[in-house]
Amino acid sequence: MSARHEQLYPDLSLSSHSHLDSVGNLQKYSGKIVRALTLKASAVTNVLQTQVQVCEAFNPHTNPPPGTILQYVAIWDTGATNTVITSKVVNELGLKPSGKITVQGVGASGTPAQHVCDTYLVNILLPNQVGFFGVRVSENSISGCDVLIGMDLITRGDFAITNHNSRTTFTFRVPPCDEIDFVQEVDEYNRLNAPGVQQPNPDQKRQLRNKRKATRRKTR
């Protein structure tokens, strides 16, 4: 790995390991190049925040990186349709507008409001080699950060949040690899643990896991 590549994809002290309860779970990654990041908070948090690097858009497979690549704080927002950057990012990177977009918002009186924003093409580089290239972002004011990651990027991968033991864990991987269904999981647990139900042996449990995975593959 080149030094330049390491600059684009730094280790930002986020968890980057996978928790696999069986070798069978690896099948979801077969034939894919998968990248993932995990953020573990020390308590329950209502803000999902990571470091990001932003630069002018370029194709990393055919072109060298541009001269200016800067690091910013990003907040992940499932309520935002598109990714947003502030004027600070625009000015520091010397970005040139690629177009304009009409943004829906709420005015000072609480009524719906519209305004036109410039758009830019950038590369957004997240921890652990998770990257998005040629992203169309809009320029707007943001509270508490300089990059707002919206659903245009979140929906390119699998995104999950848990709050087990009063600690928030946020994890994200690209491309999408599997389906998470808590209802199916809880229903199966309740069915297997109902009064009078004989518990499956290890072979039967393995068969049930394989059946669930085969069902998920058919529905993709």
Strand partners, 102: 116
User: Each residue of 152-195: pLDDT tens digit?
Assistant: 999 999 999 999 999 999 999 999 988 888 888 888 888 877 77
In sign, the C-alpha dihedral spanning 86, 88, 89, 90 is positive
pTM over 0.85: no
Using CA atoms, how far apart are residues 125 and 54, in angstroms rounded to an integer?
A: 6
184-208: average pLDDT: 77
Do 75 and 148 meet the contact criterion of CB atoms below 8 Å apart?
yes
Mean pLDDT confidence for 35-61: 93
Backbone torsion region of residue 69, taken as left when φ is above 0, otherwise alpha when ψ lies between -120 and 50, otherwise beta: beta
Rounded Cα distance, 164 and 44, in Å: 9
Q: Which residue has the tokens 């508490």?
A: 144
pLDDT in tens, 10-47: 332 333 343 334 444 666 667 778 899 999 999 999 99
Report pLDDT for 42.
93
Give the separation between CA 9 and CA 23, rounded to whole angstroms: 28
Rg (CA), the chain: 21
Give the pLDDT score at 26.
64
Strand partners, 130: 126
Place of tokens 């060298």: 64
Quick: pLDDT tens for 91-149: 999 999 999 988 876 656 666 778 899 999 999 999 988 999 999 999 999 999 999 99
Contact present, 34 and 173 (Cβ < 8 Å): yes
CA pair distance 50, 148, nearest whole angstrom: 10
What is the three-state SS of the chain? Answer: CCHHHHHHCCCCCCECCCCCCCHHHHHHHCCCCCEEEEEECCCCCCCEEEEEEEEECCCCCCCCCCCCEEEEEEEECCCCCCCEECHHHHHHHCCCCCEEEEEEEECCCCCEEEEEEEEEEEEEEEHHHEEEEEEEEEECCCCCCCEEECHHHHCCCEEEEECHHHCCEEEEEECCCCCCCHHHHHHHHHHHCCCCCCCCCHHHHHHHHHHHHHHHHHHC
